[in-house]
Amino acid sequence: MTSSPQGIDKSLPLGNDWIVENIQRGLVVVDSRGVVQLFNRWMADRSGLTRSEVLGRTLVDVFPELAKGRVLQAVANALENGFPAALSNRLNPAPFPLYSNKANQAANERIQQSTLVQSSNGQGKEPRQVLLEISDVSAAVQREKTLIHQASLLATLSSTDALTGLANRRRLDAVLLDEFRRSVRLKQPLAIVLIDLDFFKVFNDTYGHQRGDHCLKQISLIMQSVLKRSSDLVARYGGEEFMIVLPQTDAQGAKSVANTLRTVLAEQALAHVGNPNGGVVTISQGIAVLMPNEVMTLNGLIERADLSLYAAKRSGRNRIAVLGAERDIDPEVLAPVPFANELLQSVATGR
Amino acid sequence: MSMQQLSELQQDALGEIFNIGVGAAADVLSQMIGDTVRLSVPSVHLTNQQEASERFLLREKRTLCAIHQTYTGEVSTVAILMFPEENSLELVRSMVGNDVPLEQLTDMEQDAMAEIGNIILNSIISKLADTLELSFDGSLPSVSLVSGHTVFSHAEGTDSPTSAESAVLSLSIDFELASRQVSGYLAFLLDIPSGNKLIEKLAIYVGEDL
């Protein structure tokens, strides 16, 4: 057996050259002038370059695009101070134009790479040489992509309301807490709007639960269409209640969003014969605002939205009520507009 | 044996060297991600492993992502850059602009941490080498997820000093990128001759040599 302790069999073809040619990773040696001195078969096969095209030329001459990235910088550093560098795939996905086959090359799909740069021991004697070692990490990258995809799918599922596709309560709680903390930290206003469908129980009794579900979906689409900023969030709060979170928004801004929502909903004129407010679907909205420098808890803010919503309902529904700042004791109830057509008129005349 | 102390001048000089070093690293990182990265070293202490452990590591309950690199020369040191895993996640993900819903560092992200650590450590050591006229050979970085109390014993460098009294240059390091702040901790483990040599070189540099 060759592995017996009797010595090394020098007749085996396992010389350094054989290893360099057969190792399953790219090896490139660059001398102190940056000239390529070694380019193994793995590199030649995957770059489509022959040894005679590469050897004797500088690395940047062979691969001009390296001038932009970190590889050349790492080589220069290794030559200068002898420090090695590890270039990760995440931060340098594919610095070398290497392809696993012709089809991939035609599609410009490079091998995903991870690169190590090491220099020969300098210590002032011989000029340093630098060894670049390039591994194909495509399989690992693909595995991670799959993992991340599955995890984000799971995250989406666990944060989405199955019926409406809106953010669910779990997601709302998380976002609300984040936004609340951010607003306090950055001293910016934060507005929330609590929304309730008027006489929804009657709607279900009249039209049945399937139509009820359909109505919730329609309202959800309308609410989503009204929000303009990516930081705004609308979530299903429970049953026929929804909440809109509006970061960096004061009472004026929140009223404007609520008004738009009411207008757009009125335009749709979704039938709801049991609703004394014009026989169409209407909503009551309660707004609460956290103003900069105000001392309040998140629960306090939600309670204020609840109070506002209650005031909006008590004054006849299809209304918006606001608790704008801590000093407000009673919610301000905005212009009640009982019928859809009147509502449209009042918006047109800017009332 | 009693630890050597740094004079105020030496302490200031080290602070300046480290800040210039991480400044250069910040430039490289900024270039890589096309966004401004700021790095600073608010404090540097020469202490021993036991004290450094007590001060920074033992009360750290979170898993640490540790990047090790060994530098050898007149002064030899095992450098360990550590971030709590959640900070590492934030760091890597702000650098690659990726909103990954995973709570742990993936293998690829650990490699990215090794690269970030490598850039920072090489910059610091290179500045130290230039300023104090030292020369070093460096190893490739390795990365591991460890708990606070095993960091020093986990430093797998073959000749790493591991006794509680061995000297440690210990510093905190602050990252600022994409309007986020991330803090880490950096330790250079030194054996006794290396600790002495470093102080000697620093004394010469600040003009305190006797």
C-alpha dist (Å) from residue A198 to A267, A268, A306, B201: 16, 15, 15, 79
- A303: annotated active-site residue: no
Q: Facing residues of A190 across strands?
A: A247, A290
Option in B32, B108, B118 nearest A89 (CB): B108
What is the residue type of A150?
A: Q
- What sections of chain A are H helices per DSSP? 16-22, 41-47, 51-54, 59-62, 70-81, 102-106, 138-157, 169-186, 200-207, 209-226, 251-268, 298-314, 340-348
Q: Tell me the nearest-neighbour CA distance from B181 into chain A, angstroms.
A: 14
Query: Cβ–Cβ of A88/B115 closer than 8 Å?
Result: yes
Per the CB < 8 A criterion, the answer to whether B6 and B199 are in contact is yes
- Four-point Cα dihedral A120, A122, A128, A133, nearest 10: 20
- Nearest to A191, CA basis, from A313, A333, A324: A324
Per the CB < 8 A criterion, the answer to whether A58 and A33 are in contact is yes
Residue A254 and residue A304: Cα distance in Å, rounded?
Answer: 14
CB-based contacts of B54, cutoff 8 Å, min separation 6: none
Chain B partners within 8 Å of A140 (Cβ): 107-108
- Residue of A53, A109, A144, A240 marked catalytic: A240
3-class DSSP assignment, residue B77: strand
SS3 string of B53-72?
HHHHHCCCCCCEEEEEEEEE
- For every residue of A186-200, DSSP letters joined together read HT--EEEEEEEETTH
B114 CB within 8 Å of a chain A CB: yes
CB-based contacts of B56, cutoff 8 Å, min separation 6: B148, B170, B172, B185, B187
- Four-point Cα dihedral B45, B51, B56, B62, nearest 10: 150
B115 CB within 8 Å of a chain A CB: yes
3-class DSSP assignment, residue B7: coil
pTM over cut 0.90: no
B67 CB within 8 Å of a chain A CB: no
Structure tokens at A309: 């919503």
Residue B179 and residue A139: Cα distance in Å, rounded?
Answer: 34
Q: Which residue in A88, A121, A137 has the most chain B C-beta atoms within 10 A of its own C-beta, making it the best mutation to test that interface?
A: A88
Q: Tell me the nearest-neighbour CA distance from A147 into chain B, angstroms.
A: 9
pLDDT in tens, B165-177: 788 888 888 888 8
Residue A334 and residue A342: Cα distance in Å, rounded?
Answer: 15
Residue A244 and residue A184: Cα distance in Å, rounded?
Answer: 18
Chain A partners within 8 Å of B125 (Cβ): 83
Query: What's the pLDDT band for B47 if we cut at 50, 70, 90?
Result: confident
pLDDT in tens, A133-168: 999 999 999 998 888 888 888 888 888 999 999 999
Packing angle, helices B107-132 and A138-157, rounded to 10: 120
Per the CB < 8 A criterion, the answer to whether B92 and B104 are in contact is no
Query: Cβ–Cβ of A144/B115 closer than 8 Å?
Result: no
pLDDT averaged over every residue in chain A: 88
Residue B71 and residue B169: Cα distance in Å, rounded?
Answer: 14
The per-residue pLDDT for A11 is 62
- Four-point Cα dihedral A133, B35, B27, A132, nearest 10: 10
pLDDT in tens, A189-205: 999 999 999 999 999 99
CA A226, chain centre distance (Å): 22
- Total Cβ atoms within 10 A of residue A147: 13
Query: Cβ–Cβ of B28/A82 closer than 8 Å?
Result: no
Query: Cβ–Cβ of A151/B102 closer than 8 Å?
Result: yes
Closest chain A residue to the Cα of B138, Cα to Cα:
A83
What is the residue type of A4?
A: S
What is the residue type of A323?
A: L
A140 CB within 8 Å of a chain B CB: yes
Of A34-38, A54-58, A332-336, B4-8, the least confident: A332-336
B205 CB within 8 Å of a chain A CB: no
Structure tokens at B62: 């979170």
- Nearest to B197, CA basis, from B77, B47, B81, B79: B77
Query: Cβ–Cβ of B140/A118 closer than 8 Å?
Result: yes
3-class DSSP assignment, residue A260: helix
Place of tokens 């600790």: B195
Of A242-251, A274-283, A329-338, B52-61, the least confident: A329-338
Structure tokens at B163: 């006794």
Count of A–B CB contacts within 8 Å?
83
Residue A52 and residue A75: Cα distance in Å, rounded?
Answer: 22
CB-based contacts of A275, cutoff 8 Å, min separation 6: A198, A199, A202, A203, A281, A282
- For every residue of A29-79, DSSP letters joined together read EE-TTSBEEEE-HHHHHHHT--HHHHTTSBHHHHSGGGGTSHHHHHHHHHH
Phi-psi region of A231 (alpha: psi -120 to 50; beta: other; left: phi over 0): alpha
The per-residue pLDDT for B3 is 54
pLDDT in tens, B143-159: 988 887 777 776 654 45
A88 CB within 8 Å of a chain B CB: yes
B144 CB within 8 Å of a chain A CB: no
Chain B partners within 8 Å of A124 (Cβ): 135
Residue A34 and residue A232: Cα distance in Å, rounded?
Answer: 53
Structural Rg of chain A based on CA atoms: 33
A152 CB within 8 Å of a chain B CB: yes
Query: Cβ–Cβ of B137/A82 closer than 8 Å?
Result: yes
Element (H, E) at B201: helix B192-205
pLDDT in tens, B83-122: 888 888 878 877 766 666 677 788 888 899 999 999 999 9
Chain B partners within 8 Å of A86 (Cβ): 111, 114-115, 118, 140-141
Chain A partners within 8 Å of B100 (Cβ): 148, 151-152
pLDDT in tens, A269-328: 999 999 998 899 999 999 999 998 888 899 999 999 999 999 999 988 999 999 876 667
pLDDT in tens, A82-92: 899 999 998 89
Using a 10 angstrom Cβ sphere, with 0-12 exposed, 13-18 middle and 19 or more buried, the burial of residue B101 is middle
Q: Long-range CB contacts (< 8 A, 24+ apart) of B88-96?
A: B88/B113, B90/B180, B90/B182, B91/B116, B91/B175, B91/B177, B91/B182, B92/A90, B92/B116, B94/B177, B94/B178, B94/B180, B94/B182, B95/A91, B95/B29, B95/B32, B95/B33, B95/B177, B96/A90, B96/A91, B96/B33
Give the mean model confidence (pLDDT) for residues B192-196. 87
